[in-house]
Structure 1
């Protein structure tokens, strides 16, 4: 598969993964609300208050996670997978002798027709790749990455 075609596929997979996370976190929040409604109909006293406080903390944690995932989703939506660039930038797919890297959001290993690592441009390796072109060599943590292509 041509690198630019693969980039479009990787972007689609990333969007699907993030939407799945958004949906799962929203479901979890709905579950907290339903549980809170049930709790308020029963129970009273210290045990009730402690349980309610613990549930509130968990709900805040999930809401915070949802906020982070929504930020990631916004970044992905603003990327233009059709854009072609000679230099590595936010939204670039890099083919290196050490594997494929999609500079977008930190997702780790993304399973597409080929294994691709989703890395953030602010991550140390992502920062090292920015501005590099085909043929450049990037050294990071004692490892060299020869860039074979940028899409």
Structure 2
């Protein structure tokens, strides 16, 4: 199961990377096709906005690279009784895969939130063991299983 979750995380990140790279190409084309018009200020404003979008995109790509670096550290073959990066945690309220934040993994019988170690719930769970409890948003959560 953890292998499937890891693959899901990689697929999500690769899809996001592909979308960002496509957007970058579109912005470069847009910047190249900006023609000087008689309204010079309008032209300069358009170019500046495209350049701002490119900078924002660059930051998103850097953040994505950091996220990928975190995911590379996930070792799904390692089993630990304590919750660590790469743990699949079944609780009384939800299931969590401590890896990177890419959303919900859902099959017909199983739903898992893929979350990063920096999320509030992961911060509470890290280092805990099966049978432990944490309090989150006023709810008592029992750790049923750590895989």
The alignment's TM-score, normalised by the length of structure 1, stands at 0.89
In 1, Cα distance between the equivalents of 2:86 and 2:127?
A: 12
Name the residue aligned to 1:117. Answer: 113
Higher RCO (CA-CA < 8 Å; seq separation 6+):
1
Q: 1:141 aligns with which of 116, 137, 141?
A: 137
Name the residue aligned to 2:84. Answer: 89
Q: 1:47 aligns with which of 26, 37, 42?
A: 42
Distance 1:63 1:111, change over 3 A: farther
8 Å CA contact 2:12–2:102 kept in 1: the answer is no
Name the residue aligned to 1:60. Answer: 55
In 1, Cα distance between the equivalents of 2:106 and 2:78?
A: 22
In 2, Cα distance between the equivalents of 1:112 and 1:131?
A: 28
What's the offset of the Cα at 1:128?
0.6
Instruction: Please give the secondary structure, in 2, of the residue aligned with 1:15.
Output: helix
What's the offset of the Cα at 1:74?
1.3
Q: 1:131 aligns with which of 127, 139, 146?
A: 127
In 2, Cα distance between the equivalents of 1:125 and 1:135?
A: 16
The alignment's TM-score, normalised by the length of structure 2, stands at 0.91
Unaligned 5+ segments in structure 1 are: 1-5
Q: Give structure 1 regions of 4+ aligned residues with deviation exceeding 4 angstroms.
A: none
Q: How many residues align?
A: 144
- Give a deviation string over 1:90-123, Cα, whole Å, max 9, x none: 1111011112101112223223452111222122
Instruction: Please give the secondary structure, in 2, of the residue aligned with 1:98.
Output: coil
In 1, Cα distance between the equivalents of 2:107 and 2:28?
A: 36
Q: 1:101 aligns with which of 71, 96, 100?
A: 96
- RMSD (CA atoms): 1.3
Name the residue aligned to 1:36. Answer: 31
Q: Does 1:75 align with 2:61?
A: no
Q: 1:20 aligns with which of 5, 15, 22?
A: 15
